[in-house]
Amino acid sequence: MSDIEEISALELAALLCSRVCHDVISPVGAITNGLEVLADDDDPEMRVHAMDLITKSAAQASAKLQFARLAFGAAGAVGSELDLGDARVVAEGLMKSEKAKLTWDAPHATIGKDYVKLALNMLLIGIAAIPRGGEIALTIEGELKSPILRVRSRGQAARVPDETAAFLGGVALDRSLDARAAQPYFTGVVARSLGHAIDARMDGDEFLIEAKAASPNGE
């Protein structure tokens, strides 16, 4: 097995910024295109179409940025807790532009913000596991000071994403990390910082990623 290392905080921050920019470029570009149509085209039908494009794209960009704020950013004070209801709203907002449907099963409570961060990043991996769409179930259970988090994805051609398989546990010395792979790597970093073991695997024909408190022997 290859040796595993952690990359610098500066490099990880740069890669995650690239990831966020990649996610919002498309809807922001669509808004720009719609505004150009409004400025140059007097056809009523085209203007209606442009306004519809602008409205939908603005909502999509907002949802992606709100999600990124909780999933990658420093929402809240150091050591603070976040409301799982707010996390659910953000997750469901993101899912409006995805092919999969989300079932959210978590208590009405506040938990440490890094557990919210971990859950939302696990959701992103669950989305990547079913590129053709399907159903995703996110559950948070157990003691809220150290909860068990699971994301289960069911859909056609479900599989463990290549980047997740390669980088969830760290960066092999013979591999290089890019913006696409930074997200599953970051997910593993967050889990380990919480003392959680995290595993992504196929469970029959479904994809499952699970994080729970590591046992004393590190398993």
Please state which of the ranges 29-38, 72-81, 169-178 shows the lowest mean pLDDT: 72-81
Give CA–CA dist 133/141, Å, rounded.
25
Name the pairing type of β-strands 135-141 and 101-105.
parallel
DSSP string, 50-103: HHHHHHHHHHHHHHHHHHHHHHTS--SSTT-EEEHHHHHHHHHHHHTTSSSEEE
Triad 10, 16, 19: Cα angle to 5°: 150
- Tell me the whole-structure pTM to 2 decimals: 0.91
- What is the pLDDT of the chain when averaged over all its residues? 92
Please state which of the ranges 12-21, 37-46, 54-63, 183-192 shows the lowest mean pLDDT: 37-46
Question: Does the residue 33 lie in any domain?
Answer: yes
What value does the mean pLDDT take over residues 100-123?
97
Q: How many domains does the chain have?
A: 1
Residue count (the chain): 219
Q: In the chain, which ranges are continuous DSSP H helix?
A: 9-40, 44-71, 84-95, 113-128, 162-167, 179-193
Q: pLDDT tens digits for 16-46?
A: 999 999 999 999 999 999 999 999 888 889 9
Question: Does the residue 219 lie in any domain?
Answer: no
Question: Does the residue 218 lie in any domain?
Answer: no
> Could you tell me the CATH number of the domain that includes residue 22?
3.30.565.10
Q: pLDDT tens digits for 131-157?
A: 999 999 999 999 999 999 999 999 999
Question: Does the residue 122 lie in any domain?
Answer: yes
Instruction: Give the range of the structural domain holding residue 72, as residue numbers without chain letter.
Output: 4-213
Question: Does the residue 86 lie in any domain?
Answer: yes
